Amino acid sequence: MIPQKIYTSHLPPVPIVEQSIFTFLLSSNDPGLVGPFPASQPAFIDAGTGTTLTRGQLRNLALQFAFGVRSILSAKRGDVILVYSQNSVAWPVVVFGSSMCIQHILRFF
């Protein structure tokens, strides 16, 4: 049997955030901000087409996606959403919208 050894960092522990990834990255009390960034600032840029998705668009589209999944498909907390897609700037919309909709982090295979 191999003896177990616990390695610890010399740096202080990092606090664990007790909120959803959507809330942590995309919420703000200021309507002109998404998180700590301006809503007009690009979040994703498709290198092939030049399509840009701003932080404000990302937040709004993710909320619309979450609303659609909840109201049309009746998804609820604990449900699993499987998405098969090519690489696209729409992918983050689905990921953030899904996390907002069912509050469940997706597993990637």
Q: Which tens digits make up the pLDDT trace of 34-44? A: 988 999 999 99
Secondary element (H or E) of residue 93: helix 91-102
Question: Residue 68 and residue 36: Cα distance in Å, rounded?
Answer: 27
* DSSP designation for 53: E
| pLDDT 10s digits, 25-64 | 888 888 899 988 999 999 999 998 999 999 999 999 999 9
Closest alpha carbon to 99 in 44, 17, 22: 22
Position with higher pLDDT, 2 vs 67 = 67
> pTM here?
0.75
